Structures are given as structure tokens and as C-alpha cells.
Chains A and B, each alone.
Chain A
């Protein structure tokens, strides 16, 4: 028989269970298998009721984030071999309510995303027929990193502030706000600042940097938040000096 590895997986059904529990499964240890392959093996061959989200299996749709041995990971990009001989503990993403097994409720993030106005804001729209808003490669590079967020929410699972203060907008939403603030085509910075300067905005972040460490796409939300704080502080000073509106 081929080599096996054990997975300890969180099980929870709101219709059946008061609290989550752990269940152990054995799966073949194949070198090309990621944790998600093991979960699919279990679902297909052993227990069809195991529930989890997944889709692209190439690290870009952002569906399959889970805690693997206590760390937030994209399970489609986390190889079993790196955890041999096991066991591997697979749990739902931390800091979110659990809906079923490995599936968490993320509507809080969606609400926060909308709040930071993650779209291009222009005082005056240019007609399509007049062509593009010019943007040099350097201008593109200044925000490109922040545009790489796949909304996988690993950063929320890692964020100690979000864990304690659910009103905190959180790393991904703030990085995306900054993505638009830094975009040379955008004119909506002050609108976003108004939303973000409040208590539940950026001041909550203590710059522990866990978000940046776990980000699978190297977005660096912690860096975005620091940039943001600086701008917000400058705007605040400006508003004191020029109360008639020096923005």
C-alpha cells in the first residue's frame, strides 16, 4: 500500500452539532498533491459530506483559504509533502464565523470592501471616444502590487486587530483602497479618506505585519496601511492649517 498521511479536519454541521470537532482521515501521500487534492480525495472516496470551497486550483480565485497547522494558507498551493509525515491539521480560516466544516462566513469582508469605494473616482468622466487616461509604466508600478489582491482573506485570519475588533476594515480592504488612491487616474482619495479615518479605519492597525507575511500574492497590506496613515495624518494637519479646504 502506498504511503499515507493523516489529516485532522474540523467538522461542523449547524443542524447537528453544538460545537465543531476534529475528525481524522488517512489519504495517500503523493508528491504532487496539495492539501486541496487530499480534501477532494476524501470527499470523492470516503465521505461526501465533507464541505469546503474551491475552484481554480491555481492560486488565483481565492476560494480555498484554510488554516493548515495553524497558519492561513491557500490549500491549492500547499503541498502535503511539506508536512510529511504529518498529521496535518486543517481548520476553517480564523477570525470568521464557521458555517459548515471548513467554510466560513465572509459577508463582513464584502461589506467592508464596498465601504472603501474600490472603484475609480473621477470628478469628470472623459468620453470613451477620447481614448485612455494616459498612465506611464512607472505610474502603473506605483499601485500594481496592491492591485494583486485575490480576496482570499488569509490576511484577515492572520490579523490580530481584526480578531479583537471586528469593526476594523482589515488588511485587504485597506490595501484595495490604497490601490485606487495610488492610481494616477483616480481623484477619489479624499472621499475614501473620510471613510477610513474613522475609528474603525486604519488607526486600528498596530503594524504587526502578519497580513503581509501570509499574503500569497505579496500584496503587502501592512505597507499599504502605513502609507495610508501617513497620508491621512498629512491631510489632518492640512485641514487644521487650511480649514477652508486645502485638499
Chain B
């Protein structure tokens, strides 16, 4: 039997963006009923894994314009400059608000919040809580959210589709994991804060839950996905596990070394090596350029062959035990646990690893998508402030700034809308029937989920990795259509209702296949190289044709269609990206 419940504003996802949005709604109008639907308990959300910090201007020698310029040049002039200007302005306020809510930010001896350098940033402006910033930020938000009685939670509910009435989004259909019951949750406005989709790749820093669910829900409901071809590889992941070694390790002074112990980044137009870290230079260059340099080093035969592919070394030894313990305790903990080595004395093997999606659900600077009633924020969304390459420590701040904005905008929208009508329930009934027919009651079904998933991930790595070409992308497009077809023949071992994690895995895989296709088709159409999107067959940036956001929409037959929208330029005309000068 179907359950039905109703709210004014519904958040899907309980990470930093979702919780910030929920609190924003509760604060702007305590009479609104706001609910958070999340497939995990909110404190398990992937925000928890963010390490290095959150950017926001904090010092006299810094300025909003400099933060904006770093972000825009870091994004290879693809960010919308009006959005970036709003972002850098609200960033310090949002980070300060977290301080007032109890976030244990690191401090200067005089008690002020401390800031650290970060990649691609010309000034020190990254607020941090040791190297567990995301963890502290998420728990501060979650614990603070507990004091708002207006915030209801649906913990461990998986949203399977959006409810829409005449093109207006009015809630979700969800599965309560504990019971397997299908439940319609209606709302006057829905905000997707479901994070990215790193799991479409085999080697990623992303948690298991990062399967692009919100992107797929929006895409299927007719909302465009923007700039999906821009996939960030973080230059320093541990081999095999893909565990992230934070950029803060380099900001504190770590070196990147090739097999000869040589700081190879000096060969890639990133400046000259100095013993101390230099901002916007060498190891503090942007992530896209560092990951690309790794591939070039590999091609020159100057990487080290490890049991899980080529690696280079991250050297922290000269920082000393005291500094490592004070500023990078989690790095040490992770290395000791997972690599059985101590960075105080030993080199850390690292390789580029899929980390972040610059693309996402197309929104305006208030988080509104083109679908009435639907909003998005955080990694799931693309405003865009990240353009073709996100700078480290901008994403946690983005979750706060745009989570708050989307919350306020959705609250205002919800305040003047009529309650959704009961006939929406028919869509939920259909959805329940679909889940039964396709999965739980289905006879036959020969394909194992894990085989399809593995093949999808290998395809993405081979075809849409750090360097791409028409040939590789066309092969991937073909392979993904094959996998979509084979997914129709997937069979589950688990036909029960209570906590059927295999059913959820099937629904997640279906989301990932759709999102993977959107990435491949966007990448295929962009015949230039910009930021994290590098085409071997089109190696230069082409502003004439591609100073534009790609928008991928789903055609009625399921195929992706790519169009373009202009980039907003306010005060920083496109120029060459210069680092190390």
C-alpha cells in the first residue's frame, strides 16, 4: 500500500548543500514544513570525506575580486561571472555562520579563524578544520539542524522519480529502505542536493553513494544537465583504494616527485621550484593541469610502476612530524592504515583519481532549474561557478552559499503555491508497479548488476578520462547503448522488501548509465580543449565556438541532445591561464 505525506519544501540529499538549504528554509519562514529525504543518514553523506578546506576571503591583503579572478581563470573562463561574484561575496558570511554554529575551525594564536593556501588560489583564504573540514562541517550542520523542529527527516529513503504536474515538479516517489514501502512525498518545491556521480568511473575518491541520482531524476523529468563533460581528476589519490590525499598536503609544502625524485611540474609551465610553497605555482597549480602533467610524465616513462598502475610520489618528509600531526593528521592516519607507510618518513605513492563533477543540473544563480518547482544545489547542480575546472576548497563553500540561496528561493516560491493535488498519487502507483515489474516480480533476467557496472566504469575510464578523442568517445557511446540494453535484462538475487540493497543498487546503476551517456555525448560535441576536458584531436581552446555551456537534454526516445548557452562575462574577458608567474 502506498503512503503519502506532504511538505512545503522537500530536500533530496542531506549533505552540506541539503542541510544548509533546510536550515535556510526553516529560518526564512518557520511556518513552512521542510523535509530532507536521504538515502543515508545525513551524517553519512559524502561531504564527510572532504578534507582540505573551504574558501572565503578572510584577510586584509585579500579581496573578493582576487577570489573571483582565481575562480574564473581556474575554470578556464567557463564560469558565469555574475554567479562567481555573488559566490565570493557570500562565501565569508557563510563560513562565519558555520563558526557561529560551532564548526571547530583551526585558529590563529589570537583566536581568529586561521586560513591556509590552496591550489590555484593567489591568496591564503581556505578555512580549515585540520584535514577533516568536510567531516566537521557536515556534523556541525547536521547537529545544528536538530534544533529546528520544522525540519523533518526521511532517513534512508531512496527517491526513485520526481512527481510532476503539467511540467511543475511537486515531490518525489521514494522507497523506505527499512520496509521497502513505496511512498509519495509531495511538496510545493523540491531541491536536489544529491551530490555528484564519481561512481560512474572505476577509480574515484567518491563514496559508494555518489551515483548521480539527482542528476538522473532531473534529466529524466526534462531538465537539462550542464557542462557534464568536465570531470575533475584530483592529482593525488592513493592507488587501489582511490582514497584522497588532500591538496592541503601540497599547500603545507609537499612536493610532487617523479621516479628520479625530480619535481616534474616545473616542466609543465607551472613555474619554478622553490623549497617553500608559492601560491598559484608548481604543486599549488590547478588540479586539471597537475593531472594532465601526470599523464605526460607517464608517456615519458618517468612515473613509477606500482601494483595498481603508474604512480608518482608525494613527499611530505621535510615538513616534519609536528607539522604533519598538526595540519595533516588524517593524511597520516590514512597512509598508515591503507598504505602501511608513514609520510613522516616515507614517500606516498599517488595517481590522479576521479574526484568531482563540474557539471550538473542546470540552474540559475538562485538554484532554480528550468522546471518550475525544481531547484538544485551543491555538486548535483551546475550554476556555474566552477566552469571547466573547479578550484580546491571552492566546493564546500559552494554547498553553503548555493544551498542557502536555493533554500531561500524555494521557500519563497513555496509560500505562494497551492498544495499539490492528490491525483499525483497515480504517478506513484505507476512507479510502484514499474518497480515490481522491472525488478521484484520479474522472471528471468540474466545480467548481473556488477558486470554491467564494471563495464560501464571501464568504458568511462578508457574513453572519457584525462584525455579524450572522437574515436574513444564514439566507442564509449556505442558501448553505453549496449549496456543500457543489457540493463533491461538485469536480474536481482534479492526479491524481498526489507532493506533490499540490491534493488537500490539497480536503481543507482540505471541513474549512472543515464549520467554516463550525458557525459560522453557532451564530451563528443565539445571539439576543443578547455580545463578538465582535453581532446587529443582538438588540443586548443576555441572561444569562438565554445565559450559556452553545454546543455544536454533527454529526447523522448532516450537519446541525449546537446545544445549550448552563452557564458556570462562581467569584468574578466577571456585570457590565457597563467600559473607560476
Binding site for B on A (CB under 8 A): 13-16, 32, 43-45, 47-49, 51-63, 77, 99-101, 103, 105-107, 110, 113-114, 117-120, 125-126, 128-129, 131-137, 139-140, 143-144, 147-151, 176, 180, 183, 185-186
A134 and B110 contacting across the interface, CB-CB below 8 Å: yes
A-B pairs with the 8 shortest C-beta distances? Answer: A134-B111, A49-B494, A44-B450, A48-B493, A120-B102, A100-B499, A118-B143, A55-B207
For the complex, give the distance between the alpha carbons of A56 and B49 in Å: 7
Residue-wise interface mask of B (99-120) relative to A, using a CB-CB cutoff of 8 A (1 in contact, 0 not): 1111011111111110000000
Q: Determine how close the nearest CB of chain A comes to the CB of B339; give it in whole angstroms.
A: 9
A137-B502 contact, Cβ under 8 Å, with A55-B209, A58-B334, A61-B48: no
B97 at the interface (CB under 8 A from A): yes
Q: Determine how close the nearest CB of chain A comes to the CB of B196; give it in whole angstroms.
A: 14
B499 and A128 contacting across the interface, CB-CB below 8 Å: no
Q: Determine how close the nearest CB of chain B comes to the CB of A22; give it in whole angstroms.
A: 18
A63-B144 contact, Cβ under 8 Å, with A119-B102, A128-B100: no
Q: Determine how close the nearest CB of chain A comes to the CB of B15; give it in whole angstroms.
A: 11
From A120, which residue of chain B is reached at the shortest CB distance? B102
Q: Determine how close the nearest CB of chain A comes to the CB of B13; give it in whole angstroms.
A: 13
A16-B147 contact, Cβ under 8 Å, with A60-B48, A60-B132, A185-B102: no
B101 and A119 contacting across the interface, CB-CB below 8 Å: yes
For the complex, give the distance between the alpha carbons of A140 and B139 in Å: 16
Residue-wise interface mask of B (490-517) relative to A, using a CB-CB cutoff of 8 A (1 in contact, 0 not): 0011101111111001000000000000
Chain A binding site: helix, strand, loop or mixed by DSSP?
A: loop
Chain B residue numbers with a CB within 8 Å of A110 are: 41, 155
Among A57, A106, A114, A144, point to the contact of B104 (Cβ < 8 A): A144
Binding site for A on B (CB under 8 A): 40-41, 43-46, 48-49, 93, 96-97, 99-102, 104-113, 132, 135-136, 139, 143-144, 146-147, 155, 178, 207-209, 240-241, 243-244, 330, 333-334, 337-338, 448-450, 492-494, 496-502, 505
A140 and B104 contacting across the interface, CB-CB below 8 Å: yes
Q: Determine how close the nearest CB of chain A comes to the CB of B82; give it in whole angstroms.
A: 23
Can you pick out 17 interface pairs between chain A and chain B where the beta carbons lie within 8 Å of each other? A15-B497, A48-B492, A51-B502, A52-B501, A56-B48, A56-B49, A57-B243, A59-B333, A60-B330, A118-B143, A119-B143, A125-B100, A132-B99, A133-B99, A135-B111, A143-B104, A150-B135
A61 and B102 contacting across the interface, CB-CB below 8 Å: no
For the complex, give the distance between the alpha carbons of A139 and B104 in Å: 10
Q: Determine how close the nearest CB of chain B comes to the CB of A195; give it in whole angstroms.
A: 13
B112 and A118 contacting across the interface, CB-CB below 8 Å: no
B104 and A60 contacting across the interface, CB-CB below 8 Å: no
For the complex, give the distance between the alpha carbons of A228 and B337 in Å: 32
A55 and B208 contacting across the interface, CB-CB below 8 Å: yes
For the complex, give the distance between the alpha carbons of A125 and B207 in Å: 36
Among A54, A55, A140, point to the contact of B106 (Cβ < 8 A): A140
For the complex, give the distance between the alpha carbons of A136 and B499 in Å: 46
For the complex, give the distance between the alpha carbons of A45 and B132 in Å: 34
Among A13, A59, A136, point to the contact of B496 (Cβ < 8 A): A13
Q: Determine how close the nearest CB of chain B comes to the CB of A104; give it in whole angstroms.
A: 11
Q: Determine how close the nearest CB of chain A comes to the CB of B101; give it in whole angstroms.
A: 6
Chain B residue numbers with a CB within 8 Å of A128 are: 93, 96-97, 100
Chain A residue numbers with a CB within 8 Å of B493 are: 47-49
Q: Determine how close the nearest CB of chain A comes to the CB of B345; give it in whole angstroms.
A: 21
A58 and B49 contacting across the interface, CB-CB below 8 Å: yes
A13 and B49 contacting across the interface, CB-CB below 8 Å: no
For the complex, give the distance between the alpha carbons of A63 and B101 in Å: 25
Chain A residue numbers with a CB within 8 Å of B497 are: 15
A61 and B49 contacting across the interface, CB-CB below 8 Å: yes
A117 and B147 contacting across the interface, CB-CB below 8 Å: yes
Among A48, A49, A56, A139, point to the contact of B448 (Cβ < 8 A): A48
Q: Determine how close the nearest CB of chain A comes to the CB of B564; give it in whole angstroms.
A: 36
For the complex, give the distance between the alpha carbons of A132 and B101 in Å: 10
Chain A residue numbers with a CB within 8 Å of B44 are: 53, 55-56, 61-63
Chain B residue numbers with a CB within 8 Å of A105 are: 178
Chain B residue numbers with a CB within 8 Å of A15 are: 496-498
